[in-house]
Amino acid sequence: MSDAVVDDAPAYPMRKAEGCPFDPPPGLRELQKQGPITKVKLWDGSTPWLITRYAEQRTLLADPRISSDTTQPGFPRLVPAPPGASGQVLSFIMMDDPEHARLRRMVTAQFAIKRVEAMRPAVQKIVDDQIDELLAGPRPVDLVEAFALPVPSLVICELLGVPYTDHGFFQDNSKVLIKRSVAPEERAAANARLREYLDGLIAEKIRRPGDDLLSQLTERIEAGELTVAEAAQMGVLMLIAGHETTANMIALGTFALLEHPDQLARLRAADDDPELVSRAVNELLRYLNITHSGRTRLVLEDIEIAGEVLHAGDGVIMANDVGNRDPEAFPDPDRLDLGRQARHHVAFGFGVHQCLGQPLARLELEVVYGTLYRRIPTLRLAAEPGRIPLKHDGFVYGVYELPVTW
């Protein structure tokens, strides 16, 4: 690619308050039509590669010559780095193997499909209790505050051993961390508060271990395999990833279904059809792709792909939201079709960093989508669809509020 093309690189099209609330930004679709790979310009003038097609995204995400280490010079930044970022303890999501694998392996067993499936009755009880509370409360009500946020927060608290009574504290700080428009200093301060909180919890678990994931990590600390700081940062990662993403899928998924009544009717009728509910979960994950800012990476060694050479030191952004709308991978991609087999979507990423919590997220969404609309069959929006506040400015897409009634 010539330098002139790089100079002319279009700005990376991020979501704005325009168009269909469920579709990727039109500018991104345009770039996808032009080809699988191009250069885009970020806020700091840097020009990383943008990968728009599904096949190339999967190929690159599985390539060990691509790094997730955000401390390396040239790593593409969607927002300014927090001050002193280089001295911070990183989450393993921002590390490469073997360090990434060493830490991830310490928690993979807790997220194995069988282990997670055993949690189904407990998750069903949480969902049923929250719906009971919803039905007993006033209406209209904001579904985000009253249901979408409490369900995954309760589940991840139970799994990690975090007291749910502290949800106001950790939800407020998570909100800061996943907002793009927040000042870097503010983001660093929110992370520090969460780290300090997790440090305290881990110290408590060392004194009085329970039957939870954080207590299991303290055994690793005592065996000298893990530092307290590493364990606390893992706790922060799992606590945030464990509730913010799923909460957004519950609320935005409900909005999308209410706007597609034919699809909602299929789901409501799927009482005895776990296969349809499971397909619906994957299809909504594909269609909504809430981790919409793309997977950022750095090239470690030259890589040839789609007629271009990605040089060592180049930044790369994998735009998974358009990858999931690639007609080569998903026929008629803009149609929400709950019966479609969409399990191969990239909404959970791909390769070594593919979402650790995906069995848990799938389980929670199956229980929620399979229960909520059946138990409240007249659920409907209590505001004009065009007035629902959307998280254009979030690293995770969703709705800030979803006023509903029944």
Q: Which of 51, 241, 258, 276 binds ligand HEM (CB under 6 A)?
A: 241
Say whether 141 sits in a helix, a strand or coil: strand
Kindly state the smallest distance separating residue 7's Cβ from ligand HEM, in Å. 29
Structure tokens at 45: 């003038």
Cα(178)–Cα(396) distance, rounded to whole angstroms? 6
Kindly state the smallest distance separating residue 205's Cβ from ligand HEM, in Å. 17
What are the two backbone dihedrals, phi and then psi, of residue 59, each rounded to the nearest 5 degrees?
-60, -50
Q: Is 324 in the site for ligand HEM (CB under 6 A)?
A: no
Q: Is 356 in the site for ligand HEM (CB under 6 A)?
A: yes
Nearer to ligand HEM, 93 or 221 (CB): 93
Residues β-bridged to residue 227: none
Kindly state the smallest distance separating residue 82's Cβ from ligand HEM, in Å. 18
Q: Which of 82, 242, 294, 398 binds ligand HEM (CB under 6 A)?
A: 242
Nearer to ligand HEM, 373 or 397 (CB): 397
Binding part of the chain for ligand HEM, among 169-177, 181-189, 225-233, 341-349 by CB under 6 A, reads 341-349
Q: Which of 123, 231, 237, 316 binds ligand HEM (CB under 6 A)?
A: 237
Q: Which of 150, 357, 370, 398 binds ligand HEM (CB under 6 A)?
A: 357
Kindly state the smallest distance separating residue 397's Cβ from ligand HEM, in Å. 10
Q: Using alpha carbons, select from 108, 171, 127 the residue that is nearest to residue 364.
A: 127
Kindly state the smallest distance separating residue 93's Cβ from ligand HEM, in Å. 4
> What type of residue is 334?
D
- What CA–CA distances, in Å, run from 349 to 47, 79, 270? 22, 20, 28
Q: Which of 39, 53, 104, 205 binds ligand HEM (CB under 6 A)?
A: 104
Q: Look at the block and give the residue holding tokens 């509370």.
A: 133
Q: Is 263 in the site for ligand HEM (CB under 6 A)?
A: no
How many residues lie near ligand HEM (CB under 6 A)? 23
What are the two backbone dihedrals, phi and then psi, of residue 303, each rounded to the nearest 5 degrees?
-135, 130
Q: Is 295 in the site for ligand HEM (CB under 6 A)?
A: yes
Residue span 36-75 as binding mask against ligand HEM, x where in contact by CB under 6 A, dash where not: --------------------------------x-------
Kindly state the smallest distance separating residue 84's Cβ from ligand HEM, in Å. 22
Question: Does residue 279 contact residue 338 with C-beta atoms inside 8 Å?
Answer: yes
Nearer to ligand HEM, 125 or 139 (CB): 125
Which residues are within 8 A (CB) of 202 and not within 5 positions of it... i.e. 6 or more apart?
214, 217, 218, 221, 228, 231, 232, 235
Angle at 100 between CA 163 and CA 178, to 5 degrees: 50
Strands 403-405 and 380-381, how do they pair?
Answer: antiparallel
Kindly state the smallest distance separating residue 145's Cβ from ligand HEM, in Å. 19
Question: Does residue 42 contact residue 310 with C-beta atoms inside 8 Å?
Answer: no
Q: Is 245 in the site for ligand HEM (CB under 6 A)?
A: yes
Binding part of the chain for ligand HEM, among 23-31, 46-54, 234-242, 265-273 by CB under 6 A, reads 234-242
Binding part of the chain for ligand HEM, among 29-37, 143-151, 215-223, 241-249 by CB under 6 A, reads 241-249
Q: Which residue is nearest to ligand HEM (CB)?
A: 357
Which residues are within 8 A (CB) of 200 and not within 5 positions of it... i.e. 6 or more apart?
none
Nearer to ligand HEM, 151 or 241 (CB): 241
Kindly state the smallest distance separating residue 242's Cβ from ligand HEM, in Å. 4
What are the two backbone dihedrals, phi and then psi, of residue 385, each rounded to the nearest 5 degrees?
-55, -35
> What type of residue is 390?
L
- What CA–CA distances, in Å, run from 207 to 10, 157, 194, 210, 304? 55, 19, 20, 10, 53
Nearer to ligand HEM, 201 or 355 (CB): 355
Q: Is 394 in the site for ligand HEM (CB under 6 A)?
A: no
Q: Is 150 in the site for ligand HEM (CB under 6 A)?
A: no
Question: Does residue 5 contact residue 39 with C-beta atoms inside 8 Å?
Answer: yes
Structure tokens at 122: 């407990």
Burial of 121 (0-12, 13-18, 19+ CB in 10 A): exposed
Residues of the shown chain interacting with ligand HEM in the complex, contacts defined by CB under 6 A: 68, 92-93, 104, 237-238, 241-242, 245-246, 249, 290-291, 295, 347-349, 353, 355-357, 360-361
